[in-house]
Amino acid sequence: MDYGIVIEKIHQELKAYWGKGKVADYIPALAEVEPKRYGIAIETLDGHSFQVGDADIRFSIQSISKVFALAMVTRHLGDRIWKFVGREPSGNPFNSLVQLEYEHGIPRNPFINAGALVVTDRLMSLYEQPKDAILQFVRGICGNDDIYYDKHIARSEREHADRNMALGYLMKSFGNMENDVEDVVDVYCHQCAIAMNCKELTRAFLFLANHGVNPFNQEKILTVSQSKRLGALMLTCGFYDESGDFAFRAGLPGKSGVGGGVAAYIPGNLAITVWSPELNRHGNSLIGMETLERFTTDINNSIF
């Protein structure tokens, strides 16, 4: 199938959606992003690449980084990580404090902010230089050593991290945080500020499409079972309180970020990333979500 023709058609149609969403502004640096950007990139496991629009422009990957942090921790801790964070959809906003207190400091899943902070906390206990370790991991899985943090974004996030600090201290009070909360939030803000473009993110997701094995160097990142479980979590929890709707519409495991990126994959076949900064009311890329629904419909293929 010529995926290039498919995404070119979708890209032309969905530019008409510009203006229907809103760029994230609770982090001032994100509010500076040009809203009328839209890129799509696809990488297949048999070596074909397709892209359209703004696929070469880098953006902060934000919560998509949670997938990489979880993969790093899972490969070391295995199922032990699930003592500290759950595996169920939250049904609440990604930064909710209410559910966390009710459930005694155990976050519902690793993709809401509280759960991601727990994962980052465990990552810090595993690596002496966690910021460097995260960058090296991401560089390795996408085959590009030119991946860095956007320092402007990281600084802006850190200056407006009061809610994440509150989540961290609440979990600390329940004994579910090993490291200093301010240090954890600092590392977390940096991982969210990793800057990548659609092509690079798509390549970074290919190890998941390849059942845990990096297709570029055959390194085993995760076991088949671990890769399957990470995919299941993305399908059920990867899009905040819109996860069920995305599974219904697109039928793909994936992860979104408030920078406007959405990365997803079809196991054994391909990975795809969409970037469009304007968000819907759930904090997901409005055009990105629509793109992936149309993509799986047009190619008549998903995980179902």
Q: Which two tokens stand for residue 134?
A: 């995260």
Q: Which residue has the tokens 């959606």?
A: 17
Residues near 164 by beta carbon (within 8 Å), at least 6 away in sequence: 95, 113, 117, 185, 188, 189
Asked if 255 contacts 238 with a C-beta cutoff of 8 angstroms, the reply is yes
Q: Which two tokens stand for residue 20?
A: 């229907």
240 has binding-site annotation: yes
113 has binding-site annotation: yes
**What's the CA gap between 299 and 304, in Å, rounded?**
13
Please give the helix or strand (H or E) that residue 23 lies within, else none.
strand 22-23
63 has binding-site annotation: yes
Q: Tell me the C-alpha to C-alpha distance, in Å, between residue 249 and each of 50, 244, 296.
A: 23, 9, 9
- In terms of Cβ atoms closer than 10 Å to its own Cβ (0-12, 13-18, 19+), residue 75 is middle
**Neighbour tally for 300: CB within 10 Å:** 7
- Among 259, 239, 291, 294, residue whose Cα is nearest residue 35: 259
Three-state secondary structure call for residue 198: helix
- In terms of Cβ atoms closer than 10 Å to its own Cβ (0-12, 13-18, 19+), residue 233 is buried
258 has binding-site annotation: yes
**What's the CA gap between 87 and 231, in Å, rounded?**
12
**What's the CA gap between 123 and 227, in Å, rounded?**
18
Q: Which residue has the tokens 């899985």?
A: 141
**What's the CA gap between 101 and 57, in Å, rounded?**
40
Q: Which amino acid is at 61?
A: I
Binding-site residue set for substrate: 63, 113, 157, 164, 188, 240, 258
Binding-site residue set: 63, 113, 157, 164, 188, 240, 258
